[in-house]
Amino acid sequence: MSDELLTEEFVCNLSKCRGACCVAGDAGAPLDQDEVAQMEAALPAVHEYMRPEGWKIVKKQGVAIQDPFGPGLVTPLINNEECSFVVFDEKGSTKCSFELAHRDGKTDFLKPISCHLYPIRILDYDAFQALNYHQWDICSPACDLGSELKVPVYKFAEPALRRKFGDEWFDEFEKVAEAWSKKEG
């Protein structure tokens, strides 16, 4: 666990960034192998939320492709830019087709855990997983808002951390984080 999860502050500010993390970068969203089957099962419900160009890519490539820059799977991209599951609202902000279908009660699958956890990235090692804070200049509005609201990265990502690791894990981590904060403060 990187100390930055405790020391850095972050709250997504979609009114400023418009979800640029879904349209920028060099590859799609990282996927856990077990998510692929969940995404495929949810696809009939998600299809109605997708843009035609996203649906075309997914029909051709599937919900997951090999990451061109490393091991693992990622979501396919439209024109090597935005995630194939991205849609845009009337203000030009990104929305996730999976999340929209989930909110409407049409699927149990929320969205890829890497998207839900962001700005936390997980690196898998043989004996453990490392959780790191991913700093990206397009997220400077989120850093500004997090600083203004005094929300550490781990608190912002609490729902995703609970989803990934469970309530017991998060509750124990939070005790450690609070003890660390008192020691450092």
Of the candidates 83, 174, 66, 164, the residue with the CA atom closest to the CA atom of residue 116: 164
Q: Is the distance from CB of 45 to CB of 51 less than 8 angstroms?
A: no
- Full-model pTM: 0.90
CA dihedral 40, 37, 69, 162 (to 10 degrees): 110
What residue has token string 């109605």?
Answer: 48
- What count of other Cβ atoms lies within 10 Å of the Cβ of residue 58? 23
Cβ(116)–Cβ(99) below 8 Å: no
The greatest distance separating any two alpha carbons of the chain, rounded to the nearest whole angstrom, comes to: 53
CB 184 within 8 A of CB 13: no
Q: What is the pLDDT along the chain (185 residues), one digit of tens a residue?
A: 788 999 999 999 988 888 888 888 788 899 988 999 999 999 999 999 999 999 999 999 999 999 888 888 999 999 888 999 999 999 888 999 999 999 999 999 999 999 999 999 988 888 988 999 998 888 899 999 999 999 999 999 999 999 999 999 999 999 988 888 777 65
pLDDT at 185: 58
Upstream peptide bond of 30 is cis (omega within 30 degrees of 0): no
Q: 75: domain range?
A: 4-184
Sign of the four-CA dihedral 141, 99, 35, 108 = positive
Number of other CB atoms surrounding residue 137 within 10 Å: 8
Residue 71, Cβ neighbours under 10 Å: how many? Answer: 7
Total number of domains in the chain: 1
